[in-house]
Structure 1
Amino acid sequence: MPELIWGFLKSVSKALDLSYSGILSHHRRVAVLASKIARSLGLPEAKIALTTGSALIHDLGIRTWGDRARVHKFEVDYPYEHAVDGYRILTGGGAGKPLRTAGIRAGGEGETTTTTTTTTTTAAEPDAGGEGRGFLLAHARVILHHHDKWEGGNPSQACRDQIPIESRIVHLADRLDVLLDPAKPFNYQKREIFEVLETRRGREFDPALIDVLHDLARSDSFWFDLEPDFLAKTVEACLPGRLGARAGRDAPETEEIEARTGEIVTRVAVSAEPSLQRSSVIDILEVLARVFAEVVDRRSPYTRQHSQSVGECAFILGKHLGFDELTCRELRVAGLLHDLGKLGVSETILDKKAALTEEEMCIVKRHPYLTYQLLDEVPGFDRIRDWASFHHERLDGRGYPFGLDSSSLSTEARVIAICDVFSALSDDRPYRPGLPREQVQSILVSMAESGALDREIVDLAGRAL
């Protein structure tokens, strides 16, 4: 169980760092740094696991590439919104909807400036998503506070030891990583990095963590471990033996967390005991898949429910095809994750109202390949990987990115492909409104008659969806 979940988090961590040019590795470097600091502090294995897992996905609340570029600068005017959005996504409340507001000082000392923001939504009930959801709740709290400053003045109103130790560690690791210049040897930058960090000692960063970091950084290997050539191996080495089953066990069984960002205040009761042992693998996978489907879909207003829709349609068709319950739920997971690779496509392309250029279309065609490569790293995910990443393949061999034909496409892969087309045609797009049900079915039938889609499943979709 832990191996599968670690594999999934590592895969999603890579997805969060996708760009035009490849994988930027920010989340994985932060995870390595955070794990080293946590271990040097002598924290219990549960807290090391919680710190490392949270670091792997700490910026999942960032929506656009522009937002990511802004947050990945050392000086950030207001870095809290994506932390709260990440918290909301993990706790089941979603992101991007307004909450009630309450006045709270937003300026610096002596200022009375107020700000407004609508980046959060109402919290989910404590048991939202079943037992699998509990696995993520402790990580949500770490992510919520991962930009809180040591001396206070945070929207959360937490300061010093009120900030979770895991959050303090992730914050320091995150800021160290954004200071690294990939064009220079990492160990060469040690002096100038610490000059910057020391100016924030006792104000932004926990002084004790700065001291630990000094001890770690004396070794050149500390810096070499972060280099691209060795990072994959270093990430594997830093992973604790257990994740989730003990994360948060030192915390109370239930605690009340107050989350503030700008003028927004909300409370959610959080169960800190994930009860991972009582959850089946598919329970956990469905919860994780729903979370990261939201991360993908929220990048564009035109895909807000697309992955959720594909997942549910696939589950329904699986039932009508007579698949067993487990296979139907695996189909749902594949549908939820089929567009994971779209995190590597700029929102300027996703939201473009005009026809895509040839170059832009080549970028878009990369996304199912990225989905395949990302899910290929998850142990035991072979079937789900194929079903998810073959959704643009066609029975006549004219699809992409692999050019597979009917001889290589399973019934399950054909289901996902049809559900993807069904949902895409039904939803609004930048260049057209969603199509009526009859027109959607007519297009599906036409594609089946041309040899692209499976006619029997298309006819079934016309009756079942």
Structure 2
Amino acid sequence: MNIRMDTLIEAIAVALDIVEGELLGASTHHGKRIAALCSAMGRYLGLSEDDLSSLTSCALLHDNALTEYILSEREGWEQDSSMKLHCQFGQRNADTLRFKTNIDGFILYHHERANGDGPYGKKTGEYPLGAELIGIADFIDVSHHLQTVGPDRLPQLRRDITDNIGVIHTPLAAEAMLAALDEAMLLSLGDNRILDTANRLIPPWTMDMDSQVILNLAGFVSHIIDYKSAFTRRHSAGIADRSWIMGQYYGYDHTLLSELYLAASLHDIGKLAIPTQILEKPDKLDNDEFNIIKGHALKTYELLGDIDGFEQIRNWASNHHEKLDGSGYPFGKKANELDFNSRLMACIDIYQAVSEARPYHPERDHKTTMEILYDMAGKGYVDEKIAKDMDKALSVLT
């Protein structure tokens, strides 16, 4: 089975934009605008399709360490240190994806300035072209809100770019941006057109499900999700690990194991759209807050909905709060509508949530966790056979 990595990365970028909008007030579709601009600049500079694929993927993921960056600020890191961590963690995460061409420093140095006034003090010629292009696109979108800029403001925008050559922007990056950012390009970056623009400009990148890159991406995404809240630092990663163990218990081949692991890693991607103050509320949620939390499963379904060949993985991921009696969410599916791996994902999610420490309950051992899971099986919420299998497979790990 092949997966379109570019569309999956675009879905991740949309989720990152939601986080950036909540925490930093950033504009919608920021990642896709940066990728579209980088593609246009790269084509002007004569980059190959493989180079464009690597560049646009890094552009989509340039803020992938945002949740870690925000957490470092909460924990008292100085701003300069936090910015460096944002760049370091982002490069570290992207490096696991084994792009078609070299991406060394593309994300690490995307906040550098031509005059050396960046986190690492790099000047023109001391950081790679990919970082120059991502950096100029990011700076201009953040400072000028390109989704709202009309053609009448284009001359001033171009003057601002020119005035900052050698200060913020390198000469080559500015040349490429001035060549790419004409009236047609500017109009194509608006929220009503950016999705079509991104689809047109971002090169396709297909990866076989058996590739190690898929597992790396799964770990990459679960890391982003879990760092949204300090209270769920290992939740998605724990579910992915237990999904792999259960898949091995059932004798799944490597492809099916990878699909299950990826679904588990992505199951809570919709939580990136949930306000942090609700995720981290130490007290019981009121009805309105609980309904907002419940919306994360539907958001997971929506975020993963446009990826060709991803329907099965999307369903396993978004069905993790469904119950056999139809009382779950987001769709209220009943037993006959839930396949085996959807039932398995629901059981593993409960096991992980019950066993890990939360503000409202302490960490629980395997025996206590299974007592709760068996009670839910007895009430007709989850699959009893799967619960028994998990008891056998996971007890040896405690």
Q: TM-score range by the shorter chain?
A: 0.7 to 0.9
Gaps of 5+ in 1: 70-75, 93-132, 244-275
Deviation per residue, 1:3-41 (Å, 9 max, x gap) = 611121111111111258999211001111111111112
Q: CA deviation at 1:207?
A: 2.0
Q: Does the Cα contact within 8 Å between 2:69 and 2:85 map onto a contact in 1? A: no
Q: CA deviation at 1:65?
A: 9.6
Q: Which residue of 2 aligns with 1:236?
A: 199
Query: Partner letter of residue 425 of structure 1?
Result: V
SS in structure 2 at match of 1:178 = helix
Deviation per residue, 1:378-434 (Å, 9 max, x gap) = 221111111111000111111111111111100101111100110111111122221
Distance between the aligned counterparts of 2:202 and 2:119, measured in 1?
Answer: 31
Q: CA deviation at 1:346?
A: 2.2
Q: Which residue of 1 aligns with 2:172?
A: 208
Query: Partner letter of residue 279 of structure 2?
Result: L
Q: Does the Cα contact within 8 Å between 1:53 and 1:139 map onto a contact in 2? A: no
Gaps of 5+ in 2: 74-79
Distance between the aligned counterparts of 1:331 and 1:280, measured in 2?
Answer: 11
Q: Does 1:397 align with 2:326?
A: yes
Q: CA deviation at 1:85?
A: 1.6
Residues 35-114 of structure 1 aligned to structure 2 (within 5 Å): 35-63=39-67, 79-91=83-95
Distance between the aligned counterparts of 1:399 and 1:457, measured in 2?
Answer: 18
Distance between the aligned counterparts of 2:227 and 2:214, measured in 1?
Answer: 20
- Label 1:174 to 1:400 Cα distance change in 2 as closer, same or farther (>3 A): same
Q: Which residue of 2 aligns with 1:180?
A: 144
Residues 255-294 of structure 1 aligned to structure 2 (within 5 Å): 281-294=210-223
Distance between the aligned counterparts of 1:344 and 1:81, measured in 2?
Answer: 23
Distance between the aligned counterparts of 1:199 and 1:362, measured in 2?
Answer: 49
Distance between the aligned counterparts of 1:91 and 1:225, measured in 2?
Answer: 30
Query: Partner letter of residue 340 of structure 1?
Result: I
Distance between the aligned counterparts of 1:190 and 1:359, measured in 2?
Answer: 44
Q: Does 1:30 align with 2:42?
A: no
Aligned partner of 1:438 among 367, 383, 386: 367
Query: Partner letter of residue 226 of structure 1?
Result: L
Aligned partner of 2:158 among 190, 194, 213: 194
Distance between the aligned counterparts of 1:135 and 1:64, measured in 2?
Answer: 23
Q: Which residue of 2 aligns with 1:320?
A: 249
Q: CA deviation at 1:315?
A: 2.0
Across the aligned residues of Structure 1 and Structure 2, the Cα RMSD in angstroms comes to: 3.0
Distance between the aligned counterparts of 2:198 and 2:51, measured in 1?
Answer: 17
Distance between the aligned counterparts of 1:38 and 1:184, measured in 2?
Answer: 24
The percentage of aligned residue pairs carrying the same residue is 28
Q: CA deviation at 1:146?
A: 0.8
Range with bigger deviation, 226-235 or 10-19: 10-19
Range with bigger deviation, 343-352 or 386-395: 343-352
Distance between the aligned counterparts of 2:352 and 2:177, measured in 1?
Answer: 49
Deviation per residue, 1:242-290 (Å, 9 max, x gap) = 57xxxxxxxxxxxxxxxxxxxxxxxxxxxxxxxx8xx764432211111
Q: Does 1:168 align with 2:132?
A: yes
Q: Does the Cα contact within 8 Å between 1:47 and 1:166 map onto a contact in 2? A: no
SS in structure 1 at match of 2:381 = coil
Q: Does 1:223 align with 2:186?
A: yes
Deviation per residue, 1:291-314 (Å, 9 max, x gap) = 111111122222222112111212
Deviation per residue, 1:357-398 (Å, 9 max, x gap) = 322222211111111122222221111111111000111111
Distance between the aligned counterparts of 1:7 and 1:402, measured in 2?
Answer: 25
Q: Does the Cα contact within 8 Å between 1:90 and 1:140 map onto a contact in 2? A: no
Distance between the aligned counterparts of 1:319 and 1:191, measured in 2?
Answer: 60
Query: Partner letter of residue 244 of structure 2?
Result: F
Distance between the aligned counterparts of 1:205 and 1:457, measured in 2?
Answer: 57
Q: Does the Cα contact within 8 Å between 1:17 and 1:23 map onto a contact in 2? A: yes
Query: Partner letter of residue 323 of structure 1?
Result: Y
Deviation per residue, 1:119-172 (Å, 9 max, x gap) = xxxxxxxxxxxxxx4338944631111111112244435321221101100000
Q: Which residue of 1 aligns with 2:116?
A: 152
Query: Partner letter of residue 195 of structure 2?
Result: A
Higher helix share: 2
Distance between the aligned counterparts of 2:101 and 2:31, measured in 1?
Answer: 19
Q: Which residue of 2 aligns with 1:256?
A: none
Deviation per residue, 1:178-227 (Å, 9 max, x gap) = 1334784432332443344344220111123223322333x321111101
- Label 1:3 to 1:461 Cα distance change in 2 as closer, same or farther (>3 A): closer
Q: Does 1:298 align with 2:227?
A: yes
Q: CA deviation at 1:342?
A: 1.1
Q: Which residue of 1 aligns with 2:275?
A: 346
Aligned length: 386
